[in-house]
Amino acid sequence: SAHKRLVEMLEKGEKLPFDPQGQLIYYVGPCPAPPGRVIGSAGPTTSTRMDIYTPAMLAAGVRGVIGKGDRSQEVVQALMQHKAVYFGAIGGAGALIAKSIVQAEVVAFPDLGPEAVHRLQVKEMPVVVVIDSLGQNFYTLGRAEYSKR
């Protein structure tokens, strides 16, 4: 995966193919762009598969990640340590999300096809804060609130 390659580069002290400082990572494998569109359907992928790599990317300066599903306690701790945020995007809403992407270009690992690293410029992307920089987890809080009822 692109994440694995990026973390391996960091471990070797190599420069990443993009500056991670202050950036967000969106866990997505977009479909090819249809004629006249910037990108095809761009729905989120499950974030837990990235948990092993996320702390290193946050330490490198990434300030937030976008995906779907819950995160490990290790990732929650890394979010708190680096004052970063985890945003949730709606699974199954790839066509809607694609409309918020106004520019897209591959910046690393084109051999990975849709899993290559893309630089995306977005406008009004429909996401919600799931885990904030204080470690407050909407999924945990929501389940606890539901259990009270």
Quick: pLDDT tens for 99-121: 999 999 999 999 999 999 999 99
Domain total of the chain: 1
Residue-number span of the structural domain to which 66 is assigned: 2-148
pTM for this structure?
0.93
Write out pLDDT tens, residues 16-70.
999 999 999 999 999 999 999 999 999 999 999 999 999 999 999 999 999 999 9
CA distances from 48 to 40, 70, 114 (A): 24, 7, 19
Please name the residues in contact with 36: beta carbons below 8 A apart, sequence gap of 6 or more.
none
> The domain that contains 30 carries what CATH number?
3.20.130.10
